[in-house]
Structure 1
Amino acid sequence: MFEFITDEEERGQVGIGTLIVFIAMVLVAAIAAGVLINTAGFLQSKSQETGQQSSKQVSNRLQEVATVGNVTGNQVDIVNVTVTQAPGAGEIDIHNATVTWIGPDGTMQLVSTTSNYSTATLSSGEYSYESVKNAAGSENVLDDADDRLNLVFDTAQINGALNEGSEVTIKINTMSGATTSIRFTVPESLGQKEAVEL
């Protein structure tokens, strides 16, 4: 009528229960480790990508070499900005850059034409560029530290000719997100001059 459980049987049941709990803990730990490893790999790749993009935003900038204005009467009608790569910059395609002109008569987003200024007819809101020096022969890409590119702004197609004392800021944002600001002020006296350094 009565069944007696011996000490050996009790120990066997406890041992099997302990083994099941141990296996469950190992499985949970393995799954958690897998999730952590995958998450760490994802975060590492994202951080590398973010670091590269941040580096490009800092380094892929333009550097101003010279800014010269063409004088007609007592106004500057053409602005020539010669640019090169900033130290440590990679390839910069000026044709795909975003250019903003901030002048005394307002702000305007400018788009580039595909022709050199000498042969181009600019429309409102356009600027042109021409290669001054390019080892690879590319008209619109600065890919070497010695390359020089001339950006040409016809003020008549932007906000009108610049008078004496006018202040202008040109912001050039490259495809990588790096921004270069070029500021200049027209001299207070333009009389008897054909060109001025800005």
Structure 2
Amino acid sequence: MFETILDEEERGQVGIGTLIVFIAMVLVAAIAAGVLINTAGFLQTQAEATGEESTSQVSERLQVVSQSGDIADNVANTSERGIGTLEFVVASAPGAGNIDLDEVTVELVGTSGQETFQLDESPPATNTIFTKTGDSNVLTDNSDRAEVIVDLEAADAFESDGGYALSEGDSLTVTFTTASGASTTTEIRVPTTLVGDDGDSVRL
């Protein structure tokens, strides 16, 4: 059944051939292992970067502590009563890192259309951290509080000449988006009848 090799020289050649095949198999296996290790390392690095980016987009956001507005008897030159100025108190969300308010984008969506601007654009917006001294507009701790004011009647800041009209009974969606891409949305609902005089503040 098996062929017996009696020639010593021929037997040696077969042994050398087998050794060469074995060495080649070891080299191929080593190269394949190296490729797998490099690929695994690349995938791990990519996964970590993606995870950090996803975490930032979830945690690096603002939270709205309170919101109010100032009554205007002739809001945005419409001869209607409404809200002329929005006032927000904001803080960084739990687990968030430093948030630069000057890099936060604000989007308004309501009956007067859509408007987008940054908090460092004055008009219509101003922001001030009132829980610590200094000129920095960066929230560094969850205990920091900042006042964000949006002047809806800033004529030069919006498409409408009179500003952004927010009249009695109107609703407005306000979205704050940080530099990392994390967003916080709050809803403003103006009462159908505002009780108070021009310039009075009301909670919204």
TM-score (norm 1): 0.86
2:172 aligned with 1:149 = no
Aligned mates of 1:34, 1:152 — CA distance in 2: 58
159, 163, 170: which one aligns with 1:166: 170
Amino acid of the structure 1 residue aligned with 2:111? P
Look up the SS of the partner of 1:32 in the other structure: helix
2:147 aligned with 1:140 = no
Aligned to 1:41: 41
Amino acid of the structure 2 residue aligned with 1:71? I
Look up the SS of the partner of 2:57 in the other structure: helix
Aligned mates of 2:119, 2:196 — CA distance in 1: 32
94, 99, 110: which one aligns with 1:92: 99
Aligned to 1:66: 66
Over aligned residue pairs, what C-alpha RMSD do you find?
Answer: 1.7
Q: How far does residue 7 in structure 1 lie from its aligned partner after superposition?
A: 2.3
Count of aligned residue pairs for this structure pair: 184
TM-score (norm 2): 0.84
Look up the SS of the partner of 2:47 in the other structure: helix
* Aligned ranges 1:47-126 → 2 under 5 Å: 47-73=47-73, 74-113=81-120, 122=123, 126=124
Aligned to 1:189: 193
Is the 2:107–2:114 Cα contact (8 Å) retained in structure 1? yes
Q: How far does residue 177 in structure 1 lie from its aligned partner after superposition?
A: 1.4
Aligned to 1:127: 125
Is the 2:71–2:196 Cα contact (8 Å) retained in structure 1? no
Aligned mates of 1:111, 1:176 — CA distance in 2: 14
Residues 14-68 of structure 1: CA deviation (Å, up to 9, x unaligned): 1000011011111111111111111111111111111111111111111111101
Structure 2: runs of 5 or more not aligned: 74-80
Is the 1:91–1:142 Cα contact (8 Å) retained in structure 2? yes
- Over 3 Å off, 4+ runs: none
Is the 1:134–1:146 Cα contact (8 Å) retained in structure 2? no
Look up the SS of the partner of 2:153 in the other structure: helix
Instruction: Name the % identity.
Output: 46
Aligned to 1:117: none
Q: How far does residue 111 in structure 1 lie from its aligned partner after superposition?
A: 2.4
